[in-house]
A and B are shown apart, each in its own frame.
Chain A
């Protein structure tokens, strides 16, 4: 079994993001970078599926960007991924280009499953997995989640929540949707995107980090893959949302209710 997983480089979700005064971008100074948290969940799920079903199988991790994205690839390798593919490109990319590049990598690698984060925490678009599934003509199961608590025994024992059917030809995925949980079955190969509650990613162990240094990273480029990456989305301007005016602390519940009733007029 082979599983391809994405690993986008994004700002640390705990960072304070500030817009440059001229609105052309965000302030880069002092920012830390990480693997997109949803992608990290994807790496974890890929590793669990391989461990359960085919310990000789492999998890191949892919990232697109300048040479700095090798940091995120090494992180995934340190978690236990077997190989990495780096699509070397600097400059803006839209979802048509990204999905097009991953499509080519997928066609080259021929995995049984591609797992992507449902969205990246920088642009919050939530699109690439679905574009990819359509481009490949594959089934998609987005927002894969888990029925049990992340603090449950099953989670502690690291059982994958994405399950292979008895004949091994499909995956069964519980999806987090409005008002409940939907279950679908996708014939393999398929595209799965991860939601928050699919699993809790492992920490990379020290031996894992040492081992990752010698694992291979293959370098590709959009030109080698034959994908036109001219952006079709122009980001004209960035701005900060209007700040909320500072509130007050009230000493007791009676004051709170008085304020809510007479000042805010909401009760």
Chain B
């Protein structure tokens, strides 16, 4: 039986990266279409910590590979271990969420397996040998249907396009294995986490983003975000200027988000930004410039100064409660 192997990811704090659950449901869809078995793999110093979360996600087997050398993620140590497991299992497909780690790691795994790879897949089409992937190109302005013709096929999953796998779907067999550990020419130095009490951008139900129009003053945006339990995002210009941390950037080269409600305040709507938020269910644009391209994708637009609109919005929303 063919095998689909999905790589799960542990965050530096030891928890499962939520996007892994979206990749698992893509893996499940793929396994159904290819008539394959779904396997998961997790590497780390203590991968057993999140094994329970993976056990009920619908996979047949969860492979846990623990080694002290795998404490800090590095493509050079993780790729050989994953490629070796994939070869041992004779996996036909190897996939992972398009997180920073997924994008860093999977091409290196694919290179080791001499495989073609599709980045950021948004759909799985066809069945059996006629299986194809849909993936965005040109900043999401074009969607391509691609077929990988190498024996092993590698991919990363755009998390916002697949529902997160829910727990309680049977109990996978948990197998531990000794990962292949190779010496690395790269060493981990440190990780500076940007800590936030607000929800993660890619997982939030509501996202409020600020652009140039904020002139770097995010106080009103943060206040509204806190009222709504929302995540804060930003346009590229704002991150380039160093006004907010880089990992708040929504866009083609930042994070792709698809919340129920996206509020863009003082954002003009460059192609780069639109690529990262166009799939949001409802989009609100607040901008002084009536000609700003953001209004072309917004469900509701309001032509006014964000510093006037945002406090009013907070007051009006408070009345609903």
Contact = CB atoms under 8 A, between A and B. Distances in A.
B107 interface: yes
Contacts, number: 264
A127 interface: yes
Which of B107, B112, B119, B281 has the most CB atoms of chain A within a 10 A radius of its CB? B107
A186 B313 contact: no
Interface stretch (B47-55, B86-94, B138-146, B166-174): B138-146
A126 to B, nearest CB: 5
A253 B138 contact: no
B107 A240 contact: no
Interface string A140-166: 111101001111100000000000000
B146 A234 contact: yes
How many chain A residues sit at the interface, stated as a range, is 35 or more
Which of B240, B261, B303 has the most CB atoms of chain A within a 10 A radius of its CB? B240
B242 interface: yes
Given A13-B272, A179-B193, A124 B119 contact: yes
A180 B143 contact: no
Given A126-B119, A234-B149, A236-B145, A149 B241 contact: yes
Contacts of B144: 235, 237-239
B24 to A, nearest CB: 18
Which 8 pairs between the two chains have the least Cβ-Cβ distance? A149-B242, A130-B107, A134-B111, A139-B186, A139-B185, A177-B100, A127-B107, A183-B189
21 contacts: A16-B141, A17-B142, A124-B136, A127-B117, A131-B110, A150-B242, A179-B194, A184-B74, A184-B187, A190-B185, A233-B147, A235-B145, A235-B146, A238-B144, A241-B143, A250-B302, A254-B316, A256-B316, A257-B319, A260-B282, A266-B206
Given A238-B137, A247-B297, 19 more contacts: A17-B141, A95-B110, A96-B116, A130-B105, A130-B107, A140-B76, A177-B104, A178-B100, A181-B246, A183-B192, A184-B189, A233-B116, A236-B145, A238-B142, A249-B303, A256-B284, A256-B300, A256-B316, A267-B317
Interface of A: 11, 13-14, 16-17, 19, 26, 94-96, 99, 118-119, 121-135, 138-143, 145, 148-152, 172, 175-187, 190, 195-197, 232-241, 244, 246-250, 252-254, 256-257, 259-261, 264, 266-267
